[in-house]
Amino acid sequence: MNEKDLLIELYKKWRGEDVEKIAPLPISGSNRTYYRLSSQKGTAVGVVNDDLKENNAFLEFTKHFKEKGFSVPEIYIVSDDKTAYLQEDFGNETLYSRLTAERKDEFIPESVVNIYLKVVEELPRFQVLGHENFNYSNCYPRGAFDKQSMMWDLNYFKYYFLKLAHIPYDEQSLEDDFNHFAEYLSQIDSDFFLYRDFQSRNIMLKGDDIYFIDYQGGRRGALQYDLASLLYDAKADLSENIRELLLEKYLNALEKHIAIDRNKFKKDFYAFVLVRIMQAMGAYGYRGFYEKKTHFLMSIPYALENLKNLLSKDLIDIEIPTLKEVLKSLTVNERLMDIGKDYKGLTVRVNSFSFKKGLPTDDSGNGGGFIFDCRALPNPGRLEEYKTLTGMDKEVSDYLEEYEVVDQFKDSVKSLIDISVQNYIERNFTNLQINFGCTGGQHRSVYFAEVFSKYIEEKYAVKVILNHREQ
């Protein structure tokens, strides 16, 4: 039985009715595959994963967090072999997608900052209350973020970033600093639940309500790590003022649960910021330099800017001279800082627009690409309940995905753009533009631009730039 059939069978067993639609969701950074299943009674997200230990971690953690009253997904049903399960569907909007949709250059609107404030108020509940009666034997692959785990992260940075970026260093001196740094970090109080991947893409939004996913890598660890993950997420690119605001808000919330030395906490916090930046850079190196996924390389300048700000403030009062020297050399490395500017591969620009306001311009001068007319498809903008929403909202995507003609349209677009993208890559072309137009540039065109920007980014090693012209 293939994975789709397995999920369809699970859904019918759970809901008592046939699945009307099953659609794949964007792939994650693991071997898990996700689908959205829907019927007349509602929807669910189906997950398939052959890693039974990882599945067990997620399912047991979810059960524990649900008992604590945390905002995590409901688990509806699990297959007999434990390789698949259905969970609550929170839609498509993450904190990161809200941030990128609403920010204007460097300016982040107050509405988004307020969501971040709610998130950092919730984090101590996971770390402190979630730790109570938590069964750490279910953790996978390791029960604690201990010295061994820290060394894994540091060496991940060394082998997948420094080596692949051809950065010179003294192997033994750097290893000595790694050991000293990990020893310092391992002495910090770590008797708390550590989420491990607490970042804006793992926080789902329904309106302004927040929900949490992807905590299956959680383990016992220090408080500072998760906060560092959220505040110094490279692509989120929060300003220093916002970071300081969120740090103080977090500490206020934390003090409702435990007593802390705020000065000591901050000193240790910036040490964890450093290790988190290095871990992320290791991931960018592996996915970008090794796997040739260009959009990961685009994150490197952001991470280096974070690193530069951190080192300039001299907040890491630990004796790690070789490591600091290597890190400083990265922040003045013009090749790495300009890695996005130097990109010579294919850039695919995906636009949504309104036909009423004219066709999108092609600033590349290439003149090639597609304009897809979405006006023949069902129009949610004609219905009162969707008029203030856009194609980025779950309610609109659910409405459109009810129609078979929308699937037919997707399949036709996919077959056409696959031919061009593959051919442009083979011929070393640098620009392709794909445009989706509808009457107002608000619902159908936005929906398809979102769908296909994600599709292209996941399938091809190209740079994707998404723009909703009328939003």
pLDDT digits (tens, 9 = 90+) for 338-361: 876 655 678 899 999 999 999 988
CA–CA separation, 278 vs 276, rounded Å?
Answer: 5
* 176 dihedral zone (left: phi>0; alpha: psi -120 to 50; beta): alpha
Architecture of the 3-87 domain: 2-Layer Sandwich (3.30)
| Long-range own/partner contacts, residues 338-341 (CB < 8 A, 24 or more apart) | 338/301, 339/297, 339/298, 339/300, 339/301, 340/297, 340/298, 340/300, 340/301, 340/463
Per the CB < 8 A criterion, the answer to whether 280 and 235 are in contact is no
Range(s) for CATH 3.30.200.20 in the chain? 3-87
What are 309's two structure tokens? 């700000």
Q: What is the pLDDT of residues 6-45, one digit of tens each?
A: 999 999 999 999 999 888 776 655 678 899 999 988 999 9
Residue 345: its pLDDT value, please? 76
Instruction: Give CA angle at 225 (138, 270), nearest 5°.
Output: 165
Residue 282: its pLDDT value, please? 96
Which range (88-102, 193-207, 282-296) has the least confidence?
282-296
pLDDT at 381 over 70: yes
CA–CA separation, 225 vs 222, rounded Å?
Answer: 6
Per the CB < 8 A criterion, the answer to whether 229 and 152 are in contact is no
Angle between helix 240-254 and 223-231 (nearest 10): 150
> Does residue 384 sit in helix, strand or coil?
helix
Residue 97: its pLDDT value, please? 85
Residue 105: its pLDDT value, please? 77
| Sequence-separated (6 or more) residues with CB below 8 Å from residue 404 | none
CATH, domain range 95-337: 3.90.1200.10
Tell me which DSSP letter residue 290 carries.
I
Other C-beta atoms lying within 10 Å of the C-beta of residue 357: 12
Residue 367: its pLDDT value, please? 67
Instruction: Give CA angle at 290 (57, 50), nearest 5°.
Output: 25
Residue found under tokens 């036909």 = 355
Residue 26: its pLDDT value, please? 67
Torsion of CA 383, 384, 389, 394, to 10 degrees: -60
Residue 1: its pLDDT value, please? 76
CA–CA separation, 350 vs 369, rounded Å?
Answer: 10
Core vs surface per residue 24-34: b (16+ CB within 10 A) or e: eeeebeeebbb
Average pLDDT, the chain: 92
Residue found under tokens 């209350």 = 129
The model carries a pTM of 0.75
pLDDT range class, residue 293, cuts 50, 70, 90 = confident
| Mean of pLDDT values over 188-210 | 94
> Nearest-CA neighbor of 217 among 194, 239, 199, 238?
194
CA–CA separation, 245 vs 399, rounded Å?
Answer: 39
Q: What is the pLDDT of residues 409-445, one digit of tens each?
A: 999 999 999 999 988 887 878 899 999 999 999 999 9
Torsion of CA 199, 205, 209, 213, to 10 degrees: -50
Range(s) for CATH 3.90.1200.10 in the chain? 95-337
CA–CA separation, 325 vs 56, rounded Å?
Answer: 42
